A and B are shown apart, each in its own frame.
Chain A
Amino acid sequence: MTNIFTDFLSSLSLINLGLAFSGVVAGIIIGALPGLSATMAVAILVPFTFALEPSSGLIVLGAIYTGAIFGGSWSAILINTPGTPSAVATTFDGYPMAKKGDGDLAMSISCISSFIGGIVGVICLALFAPPLASISLKFGPTEYFWLAILGLTLISTLAEGDNIKSLIGACLGLLMSMIGVAVIGGDMRMTWNISFLNSGIEIVSAMIGLFCIPVILDLTSMKGKHLSENETPKSLRLKESFLIVFNKKFEALRGAFIGTFIGILPGAGGSIASIVSYGEAKRSSKNKDNFGKGEPEGLIASETANNATVGGGFIPTLCLGIPGTPPDAVILGALLVQGIRTGDTLFTQQSSIVYTFIFGLLLATIMMLPLGLLMGRYAYKSIIKVPREILIPIIIFLTIIGSYSIQNNILNVYFMFFFGLIGWILNRAGFKASPIVLGLVLGQIAEQGFVQAYIIGNAQENILANYFARPISIVLVILILMGLFLPTLKKIYNRRKNA
């Protein structure tokens, strides 16, 4: 106990506080720019941390990661383009809120929710890391496959619009994820001898194109202001935001626990977490008809979950050496370079570094609240004041620089442009971008799980049992079926009841 208290004091040193502060600010800015992901932010700064004490280096990396995941919600709310894939569900209600003139409220709610999610995730990391890590080992290929399918069916049935078209969009996303070298078998697929397709489609550039370009093209034709302004712009609306989140405290906590749990599963990440949390919020809400039209509850669900994956993702990273998310993988690399050995003994033999890091993460999350509220307010004010004539070139500029900087490759910019045009055409035909993007993000997880489960089932001479008879799989399949058919069955039931 005394040791933990000493670690806590050590995390409060001036240098660590300064590092956490600058890490959060840098993370928020990077996360808010479409194309610049948390992974990139963390990766750029890894070499700089080698000169620091191991715990200080880890604190700055954790702070950047925390800030970047939250920052992703800004562009999702203000320009309908998720800064990171984990903010896809934030666009569902965040952007409609901004369009209605509640952008400042959405920004504040997103910050408070991210704070709650982040705190719950870090507390779970500090208190229950070793037992929770063992849960992730119970997830085999079949479970990963069904988890990815659950994410896809949920997004298809939850996103505003036509469910069949959303499911088709999810399938199109899955097909796009297959372009390039097959994850198992190594076949070159759907490249049609075009060499630049060999490495597959870069997810972030496709995401920027699919979300951003339809917005740009619609803004070009739009008359009037791009975002409505609130009638009382001088009010901070902080009290209102806190009150909204406080009234939805159980929903916020549920989102945070969902995020932490999904964060524990290596590879699943914030995109599935926020979708599952959003789905659960919609299912249990009294205002389910308002979801997708600017319902703060949807925003709370998405943002608590994606920030909770930060703490959750560190659980398998620190306890098992299996990174939960891509930024965790980069941080794991930094840990190894610093001579820290991950595993069961980490919390006992090198506890001082680990607990200083956890307390640093907690500090960064706490700092994120005032910083995010303050910076978010200015970001919203600036976006709303920028005339459309200049906002459109700025967004285009950010899409180009963002997609170029992913791999410093012009082909990603062409991909972004191409997918943007396709996205705009599909959007006008009623196909939404979010299921396509999630299909693309989850494609590899789904395929790897599907094929590995097929191989295992084949070896056991019972393929179907391997897909459908495992306990966790059964639960996931039931959830998928509920997600697919419950809304339709409810509609039929209500129609009959009224008739």
Chain B
Amino acid sequence: MLKLIKDKTSFISGVCLIVLCIILFYEASTLSPFGSVFPFAITTALISLSIILIFRSFKLEIKVINENVSSIKISLLTITFFAWIYFLERIGFILTSLIAFNLLILINSGKKIPLKKVILYVLTGSIFILLLYFGFKNLLLVPLPEGYWFRN
């Protein structure tokens, strides 16, 4: 069976979408007629398209051109990104941003860049953050989080 599939990504996507549609169909069946008419219409369209995708995956392979990924860098970046958001309200915007921003510079710098340049990047980045923070806070009046761990 698996050998017959020419485009495995499309096949898996199609199956996942059909499962999603079944869940959404069930969800829509619990709603009022006005609330459910559009979800029914769209899930029907989605099921039809997913079936076409599955059938097509047996016939031809449409290659998706993707650049190679550096899984270590991506994992580190994703973790830092999430931590930046997670600690934003807890330890405040400025502190979190300064730490996460500079950590991301180090992650992306690697070993090839001289220390002098890294320090320059860190300084530039920190100035950029402070400028934008004050711009957003004072000019655009966006109340950026100050951190509730430091509140009395």
Contacts and interface: CB of A to CB of B under 8 A. Distances in A.
Interface of A: 30, 36, 44, 162, 164-165, 167-168, 171-172, 174-175, 178, 182, 184-187, 189-190, 216-218, 220-222, 387-390, 392-394, 396-397, 400-401, 404-405, 408, 410, 413-414, 417, 421, 428-431, 446-447, 450-451, 454-455
Given A217-B77, A388-B108, A389-B109, A428 B56 contact: no
B77 A220 contact: yes
Given A44-B141, A164-B53, A400-B84, 10 more contacts: A164-B52, A172-B46, A178-B42, A182-B31, A184-B35, A190-B24, A217-B78, A389-B109, A396-B101, A413-B85
B88 A413 contact: yes
A168 B56 CA distance: 14
A424 B8 CA distance: 18
Given A167-B49, A404-B88, A447-B38, A185 B141 contact: no
A400 B85 contact: yes
Contacts of A186: 35
A168 B67 contact: no
**CB-based closest 8 A-B pairs:** A187-B35, A185-B34, A185-B35, A393-B104, A430-B64, A182-B35, A405-B142, A171-B46
Contacts of A428: 64, 66
12 contacts: A44-B141, A162-B62, A164-B53, A189-B39, A389-B105, A393-B125, A396-B104, A400-B84, A405-B142, A429-B9, A429-B13, A430-B9
B125 A390 contact: yes
B81 A417 contact: yes
Given A222-B67, A388-B108, A408-B143, A171 B45 contact: yes
A430 B113 contact: no
Interface in B105-152: 105, 108-109, 113, 118, 121, 124-125, 128-129, 132, 136, 140-145
Contacts of B104: 392-393, 396
Interface string B17-52: 100000010011001111111110111011001101
Contacts, number: 162
Nearest to B78: A421
B69 interface: yes
Given A220-B108, A390-B105, A410 B88 contact: yes
Contact of A387 (B45, B68, B121): B121
B144 A221 contact: no
Contact of A430 (B17, B34, B62, B100): B62
Nearest to A178: B39
A405 B85 contact: no
B135 to A, nearest CB: 10
A430 B10 CA distance: 8
Interface string B62-105: 10101111100110011001101100110000000100111011
Nearest to A428: B66
A431 B52 CA distance: 15
Contacts of A408: 142-143
B81 A404 contact: no
B64 A187 contact: no
B89 A175 contact: no
Contacts of B37: 450-451, 454
B18 to A, nearest CB: 11
Contacts of B41: 450
A185 B129 CA distance: 45
A429 B121 contact: no
